């Protein structure tokens, strides 16, 4: 069985993925998405640009023949070639039998694919020189999994050349060359490799755990997601991280129903559930189990304090937002937590500095704002704004599009012109990217303060308002799952922000205007979804 550096990289990120790559049903593996293909191509292009700055030799071998590649690389190393690009290192089963730090592993072959092998002074099987491995990565930071991979290169290289280097290198997109101290990383890598080999030998399929961002680009995602759904797995519950899941396993809380029925004091002793997160995870389980939206605990406590000021005989029910009589378990629990609630002297309770009246406010004109960006170009190429005029009962979408990186300023100016046509209208958006972009563009283009600073006070982050006030029966608090649960649907069900990055790159390459139309339609739907969520939230809080 071959074990490669790429498999070790995947194992660190997800042991289940590494298992499925060996033992899984390949028919359940999805084709790579357009965005994943773009990332792979971007990575290859970056590697090529770096290698173009080097003088090197490449071993000559047939494609996909690792054995011939390892032999060709070995011959170059024996010759003392200064730099070897795209070499292959291999350690056969008979060579591994004497390696004490590995578990007994018959028929295991280690194969490593360092991007560069660089000759340096030292002593090895070849003479008075050794080789040091280098990996070229598109990432911005020397992430631990990258460091483990170059440590793996160094370990395999040590078994091939009879001498272990003191350092391995990463060449990163922004940080440049980064030296990995092998004295700190080799033992970690050996343990990870030993664990991986033991998993493969046992053929025990790891438990599914859906980590939303990390899993989204995996080709096994849909297969794992179906398993998780069939099990009602707790990883589908927002707020349940891998470390928190381990705590829940210790407590034998393995279902949404079980988690929904406990009190917060069960979780409070665990540091993973500090700062009220245990309370929120329980409430999240309650919302999912009952398939209904509920007011957050912080809102209920604040409302309870406000109600008590006018009617001390009632409190807010912590289960469903209704009022309950003093003396009940729920009322007593809420009372015990209410002692630190600040009375602000207003009829409307305050949530993190935002009153319910602020959220419920209905302006004559409302603007809904969403941006599309091309991160690797540091380009914000589309400012979409939906103008909702309640006086005339109209809605009109404006898409200010930079058709090239050079026209970003024009799109920015067009956006400013529109929002100042409605100088007191609130500007609703989802998450804080729009706020940060306004600040970045203002600085980049030296926009006068009077044109952009007042906009900051007009911005209303709907994601923030949702997460501060209500718990929803959703798997994620991203815009799509929230809006879809509330009844909104995108015209292109498969479109997303990552896909738009790919589409805009295709526009720059091909000039196909249908691609721009697809992006504009998706951006408009994002604005309309934000509007839908805002109206739903206002109605829910009004009823509450």
Q: What is the pLDDT of residue 301?
A: 62
SS3 content of the chain, % helix, strand, coil (to 5): 50, 15, 30
Burial of 414 (0-12, 13-18, 19+ CB in 10 A): middle
E strands within 272-407?
A: 294-295, 315-316, 323-324, 350-351, 354-355, 365-374, 379-389, 394-401
* E strand or H helix that includes residue 306: helix 297-310
**13 and 98 housed in the same domain:** yes
Check which CATH number belongs to the domain holding 132 and give it. Answer: 3.90.320
Sign of CA dihedral 498, 500, 504, 509: positive
Closest-CA residue to 158 (of 91, 92, 206, 93): 91
Please answer whether residues 162 and 129 qualify as being in contact, where contact means their C-beta atoms are separated by less than 8 angstroms.
no
**16 and 80 housed in the same domain:** yes
Residue 342 belongs to some domain of the structure: yes
- 3-state secondary structure at position 387: strand
Residue 58, number of CB atoms within 10 A of its CB: 15
Residue 395, number of CB atoms within 10 A of its CB: 15
Residue 219 belongs to some domain of the structure: no
For 81, residues 6+ apart whose C-beta sits below 8 A from its C-beta are: 57, 119
Distance of alpha carbon 264 from its chain centroid, rounded? 28
Distance of alpha carbon 445 from its chain centroid, rounded? 30
Domain boundary among 202, 218, 248: 202
Check which CATH number belongs to the domain holding 527 and give it. Answer: 3.30.420.10
Q: What is the pLDDT of residue 308?
A: 52
Residue 221 belongs to some domain of the structure: no
Range of the domain at 238: 233-290
DSSP secondary-structure letter at 97?
A: T
Strand-strand pairing, 116-124 and 315-316: unpaired
Q: What is the pLDDT of residue 420?
A: 98
**365 and 325 housed in the same domain:** no
Angle at 316 between CA 311 and CA 322, to 5 degrees: 110
The rounded distance, in Å, linking the Cα atoms of 289 and 530 is 26
The rounded distance, in Å, linking the Cα atoms of 300 and 469 is 9
**330 and 285 housed in the same domain:** no
Burial of 140 (0-12, 13-18, 19+ CB in 10 A): exposed
**44 and 181 housed in the same domain:** yes
The rounded distance, in Å, linking the Cα atoms of 470 and 468 is 6
**365 and 451 housed in the same domain:** yes
**25 and 42 housed in the same domain:** yes
Strand order in the sheet with 109-112: 2-4, 109-112, 89-91
Residue 257 belongs to some domain of the structure: yes
Closest-CA residue to 37 (of 217, 213, 211, 210): 217
For 170, residues 6+ apart whose C-beta sits below 8 A from its C-beta are: 134, 135, 136, 137, 142, 146, 147, 150, 177, 178, 180
- 3-state secondary structure at position 399: strand
The rounded distance, in Å, linking the Cα atoms of 41 and 48 is 10
**96 and 31 housed in the same domain:** yes
The rounded distance, in Å, linking the Cα atoms of 333 and 327 is 10
**306 and 285 housed in the same domain:** no
Residue 97 belongs to some domain of the structure: yes
**11 and 130 housed in the same domain:** yes
Q: What does the pLDDT profile of the chain (544 residues) look like in tens digits? A: 899 999 999 999 999 999 999 999 999 999 999 999 999 999 999 999 999 999 999 999 998 899 999 999 999 999 999 999 999 999 998 888 888 888 777 789 999 999 999 999 999 999 999 999 999 999 989 999 999 999 999 999 999 999 999 999 999 998 899 999 999 999 999 999 999 999 999 999 999 999 877 888 899 999 999 999 999 999 999 999 999 999 999 999 999 999 999 999 999 999 999 888 899 999 999 999 999 999 987 676 666 555 555 554 443 343 344 433 333 223 333 333 333 323 333 344 444 445 566 666 789 999 999 999 999 899 999 999 999 999 999 999 999 999 999 999 999 999 999 999 999 999 999 999 999 999 999 999 999 999 999 999 999 999 999 999 999 999 999 999 999 999 999 999 889 999 999 999 999 999 999 999 999 999 999 999 999 999 999 999 988 7
The rounded distance, in Å, linking the Cα atoms of 507 and 455 is 31
Please answer whether residues 332 and 315 qualify as being in contact, where contact means their C-beta atoms are separated by less than 8 angstroms.
no
446: tokens are: 């030296």
**92 and 193 housed in the same domain:** yes
Residue 244 belongs to some domain of the structure: yes
Residue 357, number of CB atoms within 10 A of its CB: 13
The rounded distance, in Å, linking the Cα atoms of 345 and 312 is 16
For 143, residues 6+ apart whose C-beta sits below 8 A from its C-beta are: none
Q: What's phi and psi for 389, nearest 5 deg?
A: -105, 105
Q: What residues does 3 pair with on adjacent strands? A: 110
Strand-strand pairing, 89-91 and 109-112: antiparallel
Please answer whether residues 57 and 83 qualify as being in contact, where contact means their C-beta atoms are separated by less than 8 angstroms.
yes
**What is the number of structural domains in the chain?**
4
Distance of alpha carbon 44 from its chain centroid, rounded? 22
The rounded distance, in Å, linking the Cα atoms of 439 and 446 is 10
What is the per-residue DSSP string for 29-60? Answer: SPPPPHHHHHHHHHHHHHHHHHHTTS--B---
**144 and 171 housed in the same domain:** yes
Residue 35 belongs to some domain of the structure: yes
The rounded distance, in Å, linking the Cα atoms of 502 and 32 is 13
Residues in the chain: 544
Residue 460 belongs to some domain of the structure: yes
Domain boundary among 202, 223, 248: 202
The rounded distance, in Å, linking the Cα atoms of 499 and 37 is 11
Q: What is the pLDDT of residue 100?
A: 82
């Amino acid at each position: 069985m071959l074990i490669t550096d790429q498999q070790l990289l995947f194992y660190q990120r997800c042991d289940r993925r590494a298992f499925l790559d060996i033992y899984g049903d390949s028919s359940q593996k999805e084709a790579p998405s357009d965005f994943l293909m773009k990332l792979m191509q971007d990575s290859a292009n970056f590697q090529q640009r770096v290698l173009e700055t080097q003088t090197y030799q490449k071993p000559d071998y047939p494609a996909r023949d690792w054995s011939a590649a390892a032999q060709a690389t070995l011959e170059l190393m024996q010759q003392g070639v200064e730099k070897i690009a795209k070499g292959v290192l291999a350690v056969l089963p008979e060579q591994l039998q004497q390696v004490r730090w590995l578990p007994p592993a018959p028929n295991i072959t280690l194969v490593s694919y360092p991007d560069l092998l660089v000759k340096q002074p030292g002593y090895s099987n070849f003479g008075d020189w050794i080789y040091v491995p280098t990996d070229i990565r598109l990432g911005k930071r020397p992430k631990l999994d990258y460091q483990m991979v170059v440590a793996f290169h160094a370990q395999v290289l040590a078994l091939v050349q009879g001498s272990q280097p003191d350092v391995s290198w990463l060449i990163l997109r922004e940080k440049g060359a980064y030296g990995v101290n092998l004295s700190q990383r080799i033992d970690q890598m050996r343990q990870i490799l030993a664990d991986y080999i033991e998993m493969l030998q046992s053929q025990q399929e790891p438990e599914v755990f859906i980590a939303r961002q990390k899993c989204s680009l995996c080709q096994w995602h849909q297969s794992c997601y179906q398993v998780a759904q069939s099990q009602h797995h707790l990883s589908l519950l927002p707020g349940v991280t891998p470390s928190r899941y381990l705590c829940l396993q210790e407590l034998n809380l393995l279902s949404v129903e079980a988690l929904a029925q406990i009190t917060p004091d069960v979780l409070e002793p665990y540091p993973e559930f500090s700062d009220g997160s245990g309370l929120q995870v329980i409430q999240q389980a309650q919302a999912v189990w009952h398939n209904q939206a509920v007011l957050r605990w912080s809102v209920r406590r604040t409302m309870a304090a406000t109600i008590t000021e006018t009617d001390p005989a009632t409190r807010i029910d912590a289960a469903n937002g209704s009022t309950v009589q003093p003396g009940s378990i729920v009322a007593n629990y809420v009372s015990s937590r209410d002692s630190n609630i600040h009375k602000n002297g207003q009829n409307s309770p305050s949530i993190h500095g935002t009153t319910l009246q602020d959220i419920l406010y209905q302006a004559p004109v409302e603007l809904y704002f969403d941006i599309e960006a091309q991160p690797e170009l540091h380009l914000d190429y589309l400012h979409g704004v939906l103008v909702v005029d309640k006086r005339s009962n109209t809605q009109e979408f404006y898409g200010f599009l930079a058709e090239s990186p050079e026209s970003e300023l024009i799109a920015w100016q067009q956006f400013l012109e529109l929002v100042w046509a409605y100088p007191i209208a609130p500007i609703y958006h989802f998450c804080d990217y729009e706020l940060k972009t306004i600040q970045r563009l203002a600085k980049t283009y030296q926009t006068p303060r009077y044109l952009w600073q007042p906009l900051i006070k007009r911005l209303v982050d709907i994601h923030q308002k949702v997460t501060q006030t209500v718990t929803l029966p959703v798997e994620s608090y991203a815009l799509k799952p929230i809006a879809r649960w509330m009844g909104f649907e995108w015209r292109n069900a498969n479109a997303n922000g990552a896909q738009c990055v790919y589409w805009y790159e295709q526009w720059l390459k091909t000039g196909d205007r249908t691609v721009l139309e697809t992006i504009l339609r998706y951006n408009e739907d994002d604005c309309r979804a934000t509007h839908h969520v805002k109206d739903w939230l206002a109605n829910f809080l009004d009823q509450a």
